A and B are shown apart, each in its own frame.
Chain A
């Protein structure tokens, strides 16, 4: 019976997969570099669509009490108020409208006056589902807190990885994940998704999860480095990635399923959040761990001592100079705990 169930189980990745990922590093690195440049260009033009959290201003979500909302009529009503840039947008259903008013000149109280004017103009024909007003001072602070937050998170994770692995691993993970963030920001610039506080949350989560993925592969690479002293670095990386491939894919399927549920049923309010996560975690994060984070270790010098020690072994006499470097790379920092016998 057990063998029967065994057969029925879904195997997304065949057991003996030996895909040569390392061969792609000559393609993946230029592609990533190019995409990063495109993302940076997109960041400057058209740039992020900053929401009121960071730009200041007013956001009002209204629901027409009877029937669908007449956007054109509403627009002309609001344009008569002289509030500067007023944007209207259908939001969710046909009766829901999102009104965005740019920050009013004249400091904090002017924003409140704008809300009062809009409420006066629209009257009781609509239900005010949400009113958000962010004054100039708060928006400036939120932006700097957000930026500081991302920097802090990157710094904290870098320190942790440095402590747990070698510095090359920490640096490799960092390069890979800054790459993730850059691409995600490019994606947000391209799609003009609202960039607000929840986007900062999304970026930090992407950072956390794509690192999570990278760490799983790095853990395996470290284990392989200890176990197989003679294997060449590209082979070792290939074996490590292939060994964790099934896990990577299954996990990403489950995360994708959860995110898909949020995207389809979670409503407009968290739409930009989940869309960003979907892009960052699922599309970029996986690709990065396999094609960037792992091969970059070669360039950062992990395993150089290994190739040389192989040569040295053939020469039967290891050079003295290489000794410390090798020791550093293969420092048995934390042996896996001994298997408890029962």
Chain B
């Protein structure tokens, strides 16, 4: 064992040169990653054991107090529930819709590029602006949606301030704004599938539905896996939409607040950065668990070419 390790470390001059170039080329990215992401992760972890002082000075070590408080805080568990419900609402629907649209737009349709752009636009617009527009659509008194419902003779719905509806309203925005991005990833995946398979199956007389389930789906599974893991992570971190849509004063706050929004309010609104850090550590643990499970499960259904 020791011998092989020594063997491995013997590197020729030429190899060193290659390595040095490689390090040089990725250094800016790595540096950015360290300064902006990796160091803050450890700082956040560290801070979660402190009662934060004013303006980042005079932090007091309090051990596990923040974590104990967190476990007893019902709002944290509301936030866990809301975050998971949001993810469970957004991710599956978005993936199914995005895959469906991607398959359609992968065909030789007239004006498919225009459609692709249209689906992708929500991804480009700033989430804050998107939410402002949706907020007007959802407005109880004067919103377009309630106006249309009124014309159909349906009672007005309080999209934002009704605790039973607000999360659904937010999920709708979430689906609308991530659909285009997932679709583009699927389109890329679809174009990797060699056309030969489809031609062969055509000769065998396979129906389009059969082609989809027997060729497209298995061969796009690596993309599907990538998309599902990344969209779950993004969905678990939902913040902007809820932040723009609802304030702590809203009756829907407890039924919509996400872990990141709760972290933000505790850290910045109530100036308790230590407690906020503890909340975010909980989120990190939840996301890590989900991601590990997904990685374990992928062996069962993902086909790599």
Answer yes or no: are A and B bound together in one complex: no
